[in-house]
Amino acid sequence: MTDIATTARNLLDAGLGRLASADDLESFEVIQRDVLGKKSALAALNTHLRDLTPEQRREAGEAIKATRDTLTEESARIRALLVERHRREQLAAERMDLSELAAAPAGPPLAWSGRGAGHSHLVTSTRDELEDTFVAMGFTVAEGPEAETDWYNFEALNMPPDHPARGMWDTLYLRLGQPGQVLLRTHTSPVQVHLMESGMLPIYAVMPGRCYRRDTPDARHLPVFHQIEGLVVDRGITFGDLAGVIEAFTGAFFGPGMHSRLRPSFFPFTEPSAEFEVTCPICAGGGCRTCSNSGWIELGGCGMVDPNVFRAVGIDPEEYSGFAFGFGIDRLAQVRASLSDMRALLDNDVRFLSQF
Ligand code: DAH
């Protein structure tokens, strides 16, 4: 074997070792240039070929080519791994933690009890994921009170006293102030009113929180449950924007291949109103028991903000338009985790909770 062929073999081993030692993209680029670049020892070998006999030249040329091919392949593989690792690290670093705990000053560590560390409840982690998804889409997160007045829960939402649509919500009233005036909010829609009243336009916000209804718990209803509300108010907002946001959210939250559709409905605070459905996450649209073989699951309500709502909060409906949506977080968690009975979310059975 010629000296050149031997050197090429040695350069192959050394090059493979050096490429494998790169621990980030920056050091990889430097190593790759050293190993395969124009000024590399491998490139320098070519200049010695002309001193050889034709027979030797062929053998040495083949050895150089084999080394170069293997090193090129290996460097492409390692580069792809490092790019993927970099992407994952960047996502982890940019992930926003909106919990209050994260903002709390670091105190002394809690005494280690020797048991499992525990984790968020399924409903809490679903809410966190929803917030992250909407924040990534450019929304802010807002909250409002759980005890509301009749005005915020109903009247400002285009339901004057005795309006029949109030019957859509079985309301729990508090013995506070004027009789029938203070209640536990039946939905998160009153937070829309607080936001719009503040007068800070435009609004692109989601509002998660706890809601209450005079309901007997069953497989699909809880008297205390969670909703997330969405509200966009700006100049020139159209129904197309609403449909686009719902579709973008569906893809971002449920993953590729999942879609949304809107069907006509009625809510007093939106006109026109719609129910929005998403591809059934259990059967991916193929049809199953959960979606009654339709391939679609109803998630919540939405529509264009009714001009009467704008007037109630002092926004000019000739200048501004907007859309709103709202859906149940517990219900979403139930569907995604294929729970036949929602009451499991309240039982606090560790054998159930630790599965999520
Ligand atoms: N608040 C409604 C409910 O609890 C859900 C809803 C429907 C919210 C339409 C909206 C909307 O913002 O536009 O049933």
For 36-53, the pLDDT digits (tens) are: 888 888 888 888 888 888
Q: Please report the pLDDT score of residue 1 as a whole number.
A: 59
Q: Are 201 and 233 in contact (CB under 8 A)?
A: yes
Confidence grade of residue 244 (pLDDT, cut at 50, 70, 90): very high
Closest atom of ligand 1 relative to the 231 alpha carbon: 12
Distance 268 CA to ligand 1 centre (A): 9
The two beta strands, 140-141 and 203-212, are parallel
Q: pLDDT at residue 183 above 60?
A: yes
- Residue 323: Cβ-neighbour burial (10 angstroms; 0-12, 13-18, 19+): buried
- Number of Cβ within 10 Å of residue 216's Cβ equals 8
Q: pLDDT at residue 102 above 60?
A: no
**Of 159, 158, 156, 228, which is closest to residue 188 (Cα–Cα)?**
228
Ligand 1 pocket test, candidate residues 153, 189, 228, 249, most atoms within 8 A of CB = 189
Confidence grade of residue 262 (pLDDT, cut at 50, 70, 90): very high
**Neighbouring-strand partners of residue 279:** 296
Distance 303 CA to ligand 1 centre (A): 9
**Of 268, 335, 280, 325, which is closest to residue 300 (Cα–Cα)?**
325
Distance 274 CA to ligand 1 centre (A): 10
**Of 236, 336, 327, 328, which is closest to residue 291 (Cα–Cα)?**
336
Q: Please report the pLDDT score of residue 174 as a whole number.
A: 96
Closest atom of ligand 1 relative to the 187 alpha carbon: 4
**Of 280, 276, 305, which is closest to residue 290 (Cα–Cα)?**
280
Q: Which pLDDT tens digit goes with each residue over 285-344?
A: 999 988 999 999 999 999 999 999 999 999 999 999 999 999 999 999 998 888 889 999
Interatomic CA distance for residues 163 and 151, integer angstroms: 13
Instruction: Give residues with Cβ within 8 angstroms of 273, minimum separation 6.
Output: 264, 265, 266, 267, 301, 302, 303
The torsion of the CA quartet 209, 210, 214, 218, rounded to 10 degrees, works out to 110
Distance 180 CA to ligand 1 centre (A): 22
Helical H runs in 166-238? 189-197
Most confident of 42-56, 57-71, 144-158, 340-354: 144-158
Q: pLDDT at residue 101 above 80?
A: no
Class of domain 122-353: alpha beta
**Of 356, 231, 218, 247, which is closest to residue 304 (Cα–Cα)?**
231
Average pLDDT rounded to a whole number, residues 186-192: 98
Ligand 1, CB cutoff 6 Å, lining residues: 187, 189, 229, 267, 270, 300-303, 324-326
Average pLDDT rounded to a whole number, residues 255-274: 96
Tell me if residue 80 falls in helix, strand or coil: helix
Q: pLDDT at residue 112 above 60?
A: no
